[in-house]
Amino acid sequence: MEVFQREMYIEVFGNVPIYFGIGIQIVTALILGGLVGFDREIKMKAAGLKTNILICIGATLYTTISLINLPNAIGLVDPNRVAAQIVSGIGFLGAGAIIQGRGNVTGLTTAATIWVVAAIGFTIGVGYPLVATLFSITVLVVLRLLAPIHKFIERESEHKDFHIEVLSIGTVKRMASKMFLGENIELEELYEEEPREGKKLLHIFLTGHPRAIERISQELHSIMKVEKVSYRQVESASDMYEMINE
């Protein structure tokens, strides 16, 4: 005989009618997933607003339904197994956000954000929206306030010379040059050639921290006209420019 659970536990509120509790969980997951997703969206990351909201709501739903259905379970049941399945399942999305090429790995922060948003959803699902809110604020602090520390480290660390190549449909020289404003990067040379009709190959020679170069490369790749971006470390950016133009 199936038993319908009429109440559920929600932090602060205590035991509340089940539909009221689910309503609180949905709204909380929507807000918290949206806050983290908004930060990712304005930074033009792969997993943006909609993705993080859906991950948070999905983790909340899986957890809530498993707890509601607990009275109807037969035999020994451990509701914590749902958390393990969420963690392993979300790993596929995280792996998809990580891109590896030419020995460089990008998307790790996006993958970690997806992972932690699922954990926030699980926390909401077990009835602790306040705890989930505190962790969401912590995540936002890490994502927003640690950037100045990174830039300080980049400024104080040893800089290296790099050569970036940007293949695009039409020119992107002006848009690319604007991306270096505010970055602790010394631009040596920037010139464009036309390897074939309709295509442009932009050569950028600069000096900076490897992490800053990686960040710039990702931003260049986000330009709609850009088809491919590649970069490599060179002995001397200025010497490399002179050699190519001889």
Q: Which CATH number is 176's domain given?
A: 3.30.70.260
Q: Specify whether 45 is located in the same domain as 119.
A: yes
Helix (H) or strand (E) holding 205: strand 199-208
Q: Specify whether 100 is located in the same domain as 178.
A: no
Most confident range (mean pLDDT) of 68-72, 113-117, 160-164, 189-193 is 113-117
Would residue 2 count as lying in a domain? no
Q: Specify whether 97 is located in the same domain as 182.
A: no
Q: Specify whether 75 is located in the same domain as 168.
A: no
Q: Specify whether 102 is located in the same domain as 172.
A: no
Average pLDDT over residues 36-65: 89
Tokens of 156: 């104080």
Q: Specify whether 118 is located in the same domain as 164.
A: no
Q: Specify whether 56 is located in the same domain as 108.
A: yes
Domain count, the chain: 2
Q: Specify whether 126 is located in the same domain as 39.
A: yes
Q: Specify whether 162 is located in the same domain as 235.
A: yes
Give me the DSSP letters along 72-123: G--S---TTHHHHHHHHHHHHHHHHH-EEETTEEE-HHHHHHHHHHHHHHHH
When pLDDT is cut at 50, 70 and 90, the band that residue 235 belongs to is confident
Grouping H, G, I as helix, E, B as strand and the rest as coil, residue 163 is strand
Q: Specify whether 175 is located in the same domain as 117.
A: no
Would residue 121 count as lying in a domain? yes
Per-residue model confidence as pLDDT tens digits over 3-17:
566 788 899 899 999
What does the alpha-carbon distance between residue 120 and residue 133 come to, in Å, rounded to a whole number?
8
Lowest mean pLDDT among 80-84, 119-123, 139-143: 80-84
Out of 145, 174, 201, a domain closes at: 145
Residue 67 burial (10 A CB sphere; 0-12, 13-18, 19+): middle
Q: Please give the mean pLDDT across all residues of the chain.
A: 82
CA dihedral 48, 53, 59, 63 (to 10 degrees): 170
| Single pTM value for the model | 0.71
Residue ranges making up the domain that contains 93: 7-145
When pLDDT is cut at 50, 70 and 90, the band that residue 238 belongs to is low
Q: Specify whether 84 is located in the same domain as 127.
A: yes
Q: Say whether pLDDT at 104 is over 60.
A: no
Would residue 87 count as lying in a domain? yes
Per-residue model confidence as pLDDT tens digits over 137-181:
999 999 888 777 777 776 667 778 888 888 888 888 888 887 777
pLDDT score for 51: 92
Percentage, residues of the chain above pLDDT 90: 28
Q: Which amino acid is present at 76?
A: L
What does residue 185 show for φ and ψ, rounded to 5 degrees? -130, 140
Would residue 21 count as lying in a domain? yes
Nearest Cα residue to 221 out of 178, 184, 168, 182: 168
